[in-house]
Amino acid sequence: MSDIAQLESEILASLAAATDEAALEAVRVAALGRSGSISGLLRTLGSMSPDERKEQGPRINGLKDRVTEAIAARKAVLAEAALEQRLNTETLDVTLPVREPPAETGRIHPISQVTDELTAIFADMGFAVAEGPDIETDDYNFTKLNFPEGHPAREMHDTFFFNPKPDGSRLLLRTHTSPVQIRTMLSQKPPIRVIIPGRTYRCDSDQTHTPMFHQVEGLVIDKSAHLGHLKWILEEFCKAFFEVEQVKMRFRPSFFPFTEPSMEVDIQCCRDKGEIRFGEGEDWLEILGCGMVHPNVMRNCGLDPDEYQGFAWGMGIDRVAMLKYGMPDLRAFFEADVRWLAHYGFRPLDFPTLAGGLSGDTSTPAMAHTPARTHTPARTQTPAGTRTSARTQTPVSTQTGSRAMTKDRLKDTIEQALRKTIGAAVESADIAEGVDHDGEPALFVTVLYRPGTDTVDQAAALKAVRDRLLETGEKRFPYMNHHYPDDLPADDGAAA
Ligand code: 2NL
């Protein structure tokens, strides 16, 4: 073999042995680089005689061309293999769940949630929302509301006063939201229908009182607004807010300087082992105060009590929030403890609406096919420490309460639903109760299929179980696990 043929077969062998771009480049430099073997041969042409050059020139140049071509071909092969390798290894698993965005991990404070709920209910009845300053004048907080100068009622309010101004007047932190109603009556002509949710302040702090708390007041002024209207509004409110079909209410005579007559309102409830349920039972619970707006208050706001009349009510937001969602300690509302908020807080973007059931939730993927809830059973007050579901806000204890089925009945119900849809394939179903990755109470259903079962419509099976459970009032999501007996290891008891 000539030197050139020898060199060529050596280069082609090392090309074939080059398995990556770096090795390929090393072969190229060794052959065609400045001091490469082929470049060396090309340089020898200069010192040859014309005849010799005529003979060797085409051979050396032919070698250079073939090697150049072979390098390019090998490069293409390696590039293709590298791409293939990347395609095989760099997969993007589109089935991975996306990370929770911040909007999913933050929580709405129960006070904000309950304020939104109240607002949704009254907005549905045609009420507007009014707001006003937390720092008020003595005049708007007391005088215009028919509190006589020096009257003990002013002291009963435990007012936070600012230092007096040179003219002797003093500002204060509003002790109720009523000054906003005064501002509304002074600035608007009847008919007036407003609610005023907001912060209020009293110098009082113990187990059941915090120096800052929340109130919602309502005001209706018209030519013939009367107590019948008030009673209807409050009844509709209580049913919607506590999400019960019926509620009995009791109006007791009372006294407020700004209403005449004045009443306190109790709602019927059932107290049972530290729990409170509304819409049933023989006990009564005070929830608000109300009355016809006092003629003096009307006159103080430039309204003629012979032309207009109206009613008003006031209620503690913190108190009704505690009652509805079973939060036992008022002080926790204001401690800004994120663990408490993660426990009792509400999911953002689940804005309360009447159609959505106020505290219901149809927006999370796992619950996407749950019909919007219009009415839920009575809320119960849960004892201290009971977990509340962040998604449904239903105290967990009520989900397995008297309405809930026993585990055996659940198992039967699920098996029946499965047999109706996928029939003979089902051997048995087993259930376990637990919580899912969101911490939501869930059912884990393991379906065991008959030997020889090929494939079943798992989506249809899930839907059948889900629909049937919803009919029975079961709210926990059934996560399904499908077992074909041939999949099970022999010692698993699968033969049994
Ligand atoms: C309670 C009682 C009430 C009002 C507030 C009101 C406001 C104006 C005129 C007349 Cl401007 N009344 N508000 C009326 C009755 C009761 O609150 O126990 N709140 C927690």
pLDDT in tens, 244-261: 888 899 999 999 999 999
Q: How confident is the model at residue 429 (pLDDT cuts 50, 70, 90)?
A: confident
Cβ of 316 less than 6 Å from ligand 1: yes
Q: Which residue's alpha carbon is nearest to atom 3 within ligand 1?
A: 314
Write down the pLDDT at residue 405.
72
For residue 291, how far is its CA from the centre of ligand 1 (angstroms)? 7
Q: Is the model more confident about 326 or about 177?
A: 177
For residue 115, how far is its CA from the centre of ligand 1 (angstroms)? 17
Q: Of the given ranges (100-104, 140-144, 249-253), which has the lowest mean pLDDT?
A: 100-104
For residue 256, how far is its CA from the centre of ligand 1 (angstroms)? 7
Cβ(441)–Cβ(476) under 8 Å?
A: yes
Write down the pLDDT at residue 375.
25
Write down the pLDDT at residue 155.
67
- CA 426/CA 473 separation, integer angstroms: 24
Cβ(219)–Cβ(312) under 8 Å?
A: yes
Torsion angle (degrees, nearest 10) of CA 161, 163, 164, 166: -160
Cβ(257)–Cβ(145) under 8 Å?
A: yes
Ligand 1, residues 158, 202, 259: which to mutate, most atoms within 8 A of Cβ?
259
CB neighbours of residue 241 within 10 Å: 24
Q: Which residue's alpha carbon is nearest to atom 12 within ligand 1?
A: 312
Phi first, then psi: give them for residue 446, nearest 5 degrees. Answer: -105, 120
Q: Of the given ranges (222-236, 286-300, 414-428), which has the lowest mean pLDDT?
A: 414-428
Which residue in 384, 447, 453 sits closest to 416, CA to CA? 447
Share of the chain above pLDDT 90, in %: 45
For residues 462-483, one letter each, b for 16 or more C-beta atoms within 10 angstroms of the residue's C-beta and e for the rest, the string is bebbbebbeeeebbbbbbbebb
For residue 126, how far is its CA from the centre of ligand 1 (angstroms)? 20
Q: Of the given ranges (262-266, 269-273, 376-380), which has the lowest mean pLDDT?
A: 376-380
Cβ(339)–Cβ(332) under 8 Å?
A: no
Q: Are strands 275-278 and 309-316 parallel, antiparallel or unpaired?
A: unpaired
Q: pLDDT at residue 270 above 70?
A: yes
- CA 422/CA 441 separation, integer angstroms: 26
Write down the pLDDT at residue 373.
28
Q: Which residue's alpha carbon is nearest to atom 7 within ligand 1?
A: 178
Per residue in 368-409, pLDDT tens? 222 222 222 222 333 333 333 333 343 333 333 334 577 888
Write down the pLDDT at residue 371.
27
334: Cα separation from own chain's centroid: 21
What mean pLDDT do residues 180-192 have? 96
Q: Of the given ranges (58-72, 328-342, 376-390), which has the lowest mean pLDDT?
A: 376-390
Ligand 1, residues 256, 308, 315, 323: which to mutate, most atoms within 8 A of Cβ?
256
Q: Which residue's alpha carbon is nearest to atom 5 within ligand 1?
A: 314
CB-based contacts of 456, cutoff 8 Å, min separation 6 = 422, 425, 449, 482
Please tell me the pTM assigned to this model: 0.57
For residue 206, how far is its CA from the centre of ligand 1 (angstroms)? 23
Cβ of 314 less than 6 Å from ligand 1: yes
Cβ of 142 less than 6 Å from ligand 1: no
